[in-house]
């Protein structure tokens, strides 16, 4: 894992060497402490999560906590009872709706989040607006390339098996 981090920081340093004005956009994740580029309007903030998983994990954890607090309150218990009664009355409709959600909506939004982050960072580095489609094509092309190195490309497989962000 150290190799991945070292290569990432080497890239960040080379970008800062070429574009020193972006130093003010470099910030540290409040969860995992990794350095990443943020939008200039967020420069100097210390309460940001990185776009590599911490932001989504914190959002998911906060939503779960809010939901637990609501359904433990009196109003939440009443609403939950109503929803459960309604669900049992319309069991066959709920079953078809859950099948649509299961197969129609992607579970993991991280790749799109990372592509949007790359779009913002590359737009600042190149000093012009880069389209989302261009970034998507670039990432797809990079991931499609085969490596002739024995160890393989760094982003093909992290090898650590970590399912949650740091």
Q: What is the pLDDT of residues 82-91, one digit of tens each?
A: 888 887 777 6
Residue 28, classed as helix, strand or coil, is: strand
pLDDT tens string 26-45: 999 988 888 999 999 998 88
Task: Point out which residues pair with 13 in neighbouring strands.
Answer: none
Q: What is the mean pLDDT of residues 14-21?
A: 91
CA count, 13 A, side-chain hemisphere, 100: 6
Across all residues in the chain, what is the average pLDDT? Answer: 78
Average of per-residue pLDDT across 7-23: 90
What's the pLDDT score for residue 64? 94
Domain range annotation of the chain:
1-50, 56-104
Q: What percent of the chain has pLDDT over 90?
A: 19
Under 8 Å between Cβ of 154 and 7: yes
List the Cα angle 142/143/144 in 5-degree steps: 90
| Per-residue model confidence (pLDDT) at position 105 | 42
pLDDT in tens, 43-98: 888 889 888 888 888 889 999 999 999 999 999 899 888 888 887 777 655 555 55
Residue 104: pLDDT band (50, 70, 90) is very low
Residue 166 pLDDT: 60
Beta bridge partners of 35: 28
Residue 92: its pLDDT value, please?
53
Count the neighbouring beta carbons within 10 Å of the beta carbon of residue 73: 10
Rounded Cα–Cα distance for residues 50 and 36 (Å):
7
């Amino acid at each position: 894992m150290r190799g991945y981090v070292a290569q990432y920081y080497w890239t960040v340093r080379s970008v800062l060497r070429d574009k020193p004005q972006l130093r003010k956009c470099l910030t540290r994740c409040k969860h995992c402490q990794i350095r990443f580029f943020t939008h200039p309007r967020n420069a100097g903030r210390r309460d940001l999560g990185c776009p590599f998983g911490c932001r989504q994990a914190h959002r998911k954890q906060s939503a779960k906590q809010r939901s637990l607090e609501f359904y433990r309150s009196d109003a939440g218990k009443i609403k939950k009872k109503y929803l459960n009664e309604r669900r049992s009355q319309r069991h066959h409709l709920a079953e078809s709706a859950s099948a649509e959600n299961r197969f129609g909506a992607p579970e993991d939004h991280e790749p799109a989040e990372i592509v949007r982050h790359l779009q913002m960072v590359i737009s600042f580095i190149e000093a012009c607006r880069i389209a989302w489609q261009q970034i998507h094509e670039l990432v797809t092309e990079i991931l499609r390339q085969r490596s002739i190195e024995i160890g393989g490309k760094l982003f093909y497989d992290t090898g650590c098996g970590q399912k949650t962000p740091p």
